[in-house]
Amino acid sequence: MSVKIQQISPGDLTLYASVSIAFEVRSVYRVETREQGLGGLLLVEELVDPYIKDYDAQAEGNDRPNQWSQQFDLSQWGFFMAMDGERAAGGAAVVMNSPEVHMLENRSDLAVLWDMRVQPEQRGKGIGRRLFQHAAEWARAKGCTQLKIETQNVNLPACCFYARQGCHLGAILRHGYAGCPEVAHEAMLLWYLDL
């Protein structure tokens, strides 16, 4: 059966949330500074004892997809599902023109890929690429000139994926999660795609 990408409404976010976002961490990017940062930052891959990272499991309060409407006005968001027949294979969420989302930098020409996920058994089959392309095309059609994506130094598969999609690394925030004790050791990586 072929996988189809379709736009969904905020009312379908329970189905969206049924797609696992968990992945196994086997290596991380260690951020090294050169000349106290004046000489730049270097990402060095470092093997770690494998562990499972699940953003939904660590999410608090309204951070899970089926609870986004309690925190945000979703009227300017785009939600997309990859469906394998009746089964959810993946999803992507894009936000634009939402003042309460600080990642948008107060820009009307910027969209943010807020979330993207593919069921573990469906990974490596091109579903993520198709979802990403669909999300980028939706943002372009809405008049956006850039798509911004946040990842972490512990998510090498995502970093490599976004690089393959033509994104460029625009910022490395070594202390981007300092206010969240359980992930304070992670670095925030911001990727950009020119649309």
Q: Is it the case that residue 126 has pLDDT exceeding 80?
A: yes
Pair of tokens at residue 48: 């770690």
The pTM (predicted TM-score) of the whole model is 0.94
Instruction: Give CA–CA dist 9/7, Å, rounded.
Output: 7
**E strand map for 54-86:** 77-84
pLDDT in tens, 55-89: 888 766 558 898 899 889 999 999 999 999 999 99
pLDDT in tens, 134-146: 999 999 999 999 9
Instruction: Give CA–CA dist 116/32, Å, rounded.
Output: 28
Domain boundaries, the chain: 3-194
Q: 3-194 maps to which CATH number?
A: 3.40.630.30
